Structure 1
Amino acid sequence: MGLFKKRQKKLDSQEVGLDIGMIFLKFFLDTEYLHYGFWENGLEPEVKNLRAAQINYTNHLFSHIPEGVKTILDVGSGTGKVAEQLIKKGYQVDCVSPSKRLTARIKELLSDKAEVFHGRYEDVKIDKKYDLVLFSESFQYIDMQTNFEKSAQYLKEGGHILICDFFRYQEHNHRPLGGGHWLDQYKEILAKHPFDIIKDEDITDKIAPTMTVVNTFTMEAIRPSFELGMDLFQDRFPRIHRFVNWKFKKKLAGTREKHFKGERNEANFKKFKTYRLILLQKRAH
């Protein structure tokens, strides 16, 4: 087989995106949080304030952990930064991480303070039960039917699920911002599982300014860098540039359409998304 061995699988774009996010945020902003910011008390949505807004988010999330919770399963743990803060507060935390790079970072950060289950939540096998299963911007990546089944399995009686993530509105067709489960579908699937809604808080207005930061950086830094790079490529390698433009015409146009039109902004986030903090409790038999 040798050189002609068939490629087994492609890189996961979501996983690669998270890895790039980790590198970027750590290098440029001295933060390892991979989640949105929570903008309150007059904090201006600027790049320099993102880390402070992310800390606000973490504090708001932690304030909704019910009393009596001791053990937490952090699903989609990112760099392990949230888990690290939970451990410092006295919780016993385990992590689920599908990314090899992020899993390595979690183990480096937490050492032997937490058990790390590498793989997708749908696939991992865990022989433990927890007081709380946490989804901090990871709920959107997991099949909801499987998610609720596995979470019910891993929770103690009376245990909780804490979700902090965004959802899409069913009635909107044009979506400059992708991602997120449909809110209506979430409600339909949840109704079939043994969980009661303790809290469902819409925090979209506090989260959406993050998109101002993202859009500003994209339009003022990433877009001109991309275009300058393409210009240099054309100047140095005109024939290859023509071939690339022909071969990947649709993909290049799609990239510009998706990322460089300025539509991934705060106003559209509020229009097409609802960002919610949801606390569920497992019903007793």
Structure 2
Amino acid sequence: MSSAPRSVWLHNPFRVGGKNRPVVCVMGKIKASAMLKSIAKKSLNPIYLRRAVRLHRNRKQLVRCKNDPQLKLYAQLFPSGFLHYGYFDNTAICPRDMSLNAITDAQLKYAEVLLEKVLDRRSEVLDVGCGMGGLVGMMLKRGWKPVALSPDAHQIDAIKELYPQTPTIQAKFEDIDVEEHRGRYGTVINAESLNYLHLEDALPLINQVLKPEGRWVICDFFRMDEAGDTSGHWEHFEQSVKEAGFYFSYKRDITPHILPTIAYAHMLGEEVGLPVIDFSLEKLRGKQPGLHYLLEESLDALLQKMKENLQIVNPVDFQKRKKYMLLVVERGTGETETAGIALDRKGHTPLSPDEEDKLNKMM
């Protein structure tokens, strides 16, 4: 008798020859010849080949943000409704001591730190790139008036279901109707969504949709290397903000507080992901050498691409090339409040004297 768990035998929906068999046994019957026939059929048949070429040529024309499967996966991994790095008070935490629950707690802390910069709590707050509605839910609990914007259909549908009382906008920020939103918002928030904006179009629009005393609250990473490509580059963004008639009323580098999440992702990739992939490729080489031979170059290229992507979340490399900033942008000119790391007794980012004064006037 097999040592497979009894539940596998009793509840396995796959039946072979009228008998329940473990899934692994059924899968073991799949022959490489069937896979090879499928590949050959689509490679040699002109109809399939033309379709493959057409799909490849049109790949960049697909609008990824309309229903992004990657964002949907993140939402399943982090059901809290947040899709950002999070904020860790303990910046020295070891990746091995972390868990998905720790990241969820850090994401909640991140949202709290961000919302402390919202001073006008009576006017509507536009959450640009709202994710799965984590910030929206927190604002509703505080009695605020959030408006959720995302070009992703899956995200907007989720927010409509969770928070039907919340206005939603399924569009890119740059595509919204200016007249409909002119002077409507006391605050516009970009939490890890700034780099999706086309800055030349977004800056004038920010100016138009904010109320006279409105604030633009930003939390995102910026590149610090030489500005060959200006997208996401700190110096380019800083200069563009000033040229558009804004100034930074608040700046804070919170890179150390988001690095634990990056270190955790890097550890999982290095110590779990790559070893599992290497093992799987070796099994394929041993069990299906013919199929492995046909796919070898593609598999090697895929593995190399994964290693390159893993380097993006190398915490040492990230800290050298990027910094993660919490920013408040306002109209006009003024002095910038550059915050240190110290928090108040409740663990919150302390407001500057100017922010305290503005908040008191709005209450």
Residues in 2 aligned to 1:138 and 1:74: alpha-carbon distance in whole angstroms: 10
SS of the aligned residue for 2:301 comes to: helix
Residues in 1 aligned to 2:312 and 2:121: alpha-carbon distance in whole angstroms: 43
SS of the aligned residue for 1:17 comes to: helix
Unaligned runs of 5+ in 1: 174-178
Partner residue, 2:171: 119
Residues in 1 aligned to 2:321 and 2:270: alpha-carbon distance in whole angstroms: 21
**1:154 shift after superposition:** 1.1
Counterpart AA for 1:106: I
1:40 aligns with 2:89: yes
Residues in 2 aligned to 1:124 and 1:91: alpha-carbon distance in whole angstroms: 22
Residues in 1 aligned to 2:70 and 2:91: alpha-carbon distance in whole angstroms: 30
Q: What is the TM-score of this pair, normalised by structure 2?
A: 0.67
SS of the aligned residue for 2:174 comes to: coil
**More deviation in 12-21 or 97-106?**
12-21
Residues in 2 aligned to 1:153 and 1:233: alpha-carbon distance in whole angstroms: 58
Residues in 1 aligned to 2:262 and 2:193: alpha-carbon distance in whole angstroms: 18
Question: Runs in 1 of length 4+ with deviation above 6 angstroms?
Answer: 2-5
1:137 aligns with 2:192: yes
Counterpart AA for 1:88: K
Distance 1:263 1:188, change over 3 A: closer
- CA contact 1:163–1:278 (8 Å) conserved in 2: yes
Residues in 1 aligned to 2:269 and 2:190: alpha-carbon distance in whole angstroms: 27
**1:82 shift after superposition:** 1.1
1:216 aligns with 2:271: no
1:196 aligns with 2:247: yes
SS of the aligned residue for 1:96 comes to: strand
Residues in 1 aligned to 2:102 and 2:207: alpha-carbon distance in whole angstroms: 38
Distance 1:263 1:96, change over 3 A: closer
Partner residue, 2:317: 268
Residues in 2 aligned to 1:80 and 1:21: alpha-carbon distance in whole angstroms: 13
- Aligned partner (choices 239, 258, 261) of residue 290 of structure 2: 239
Distance 1:249 1:230, change over 3 A: closer
**1:251 shift after superposition:** 4.0
- For each residue in 1:107-139, what CA deviation from the matched residue of structure 2 results, as whole angstroms up to 9, or x when unmatched? 22212x211111222223351211111001000
**1:10 shift after superposition:** 2.8
Partner residue, 1:80: 133
Residues in 1 aligned to 2:209 and 2:152: alpha-carbon distance in whole angstroms: 21
- CA contact 1:94–1:116 (8 Å) conserved in 2: yes
- CA contact 1:118–1:124 (8 Å) conserved in 2: no
Partner residue, 1:176: none
**More deviation in 71-80 or 122-131?**
122-131
- CA contact 2:190–2:217 (8 Å) conserved in 1: yes
Distance 1:169 1:67, change over 3 A: same
Distance 1:157 1:67, change over 3 A: closer
- For each residue in 1:152-186, what CA deviation from the matched residue of structure 2 results, as whole angstroms up to 9, or x when unmatched? 1211112110000010003389xxxxx97000110
Partner residue, 1:280: 329
Distance 1:182 1:101, change over 3 A: same
- CA contact 1:157–1:283 (8 Å) conserved in 2: no
- Larger Rg: 1 or 2? 2
Counterpart AA for 2:242: A
Q: What is the TM-score of this pair, normalised by structure 1?
A: 0.84
Distance 1:218 1:247, change over 3 A: closer
**1:283 shift after superposition:** 4.0
Alignment of 1:49-88 (within 5 A): 49-68=102-121, 70-88=123-141
Residues in 1 aligned to 2:177 and 2:282: alpha-carbon distance in whole angstroms: 50
SS of the aligned residue for 2:78 comes to: helix
1:101 aligns with 2:101: no
**More deviation in 65-74 or 51-60?**
65-74
SS of the aligned residue for 1:40 comes to: coil
- CA contact 2:262–2:315 (8 Å) conserved in 1: yes
How many residues of Structure 1 are paired with residues of Structure 2 in the alignment?
272
- For each residue in 1:30-63, what CA deviation from the matched residue of structure 2 results, as whole angstroms up to 9, or x when unmatched? x331111211157835124111111111111111
Distance 1:215 1:42, change over 3 A: closer
- Aligned partner (choices 144, 147, 150) of residue 202 of structure 2: 147
Counterpart AA for 2:255: T
Residues in 2 aligned to 1:41 and 1:140: alpha-carbon distance in whole angstroms: 27
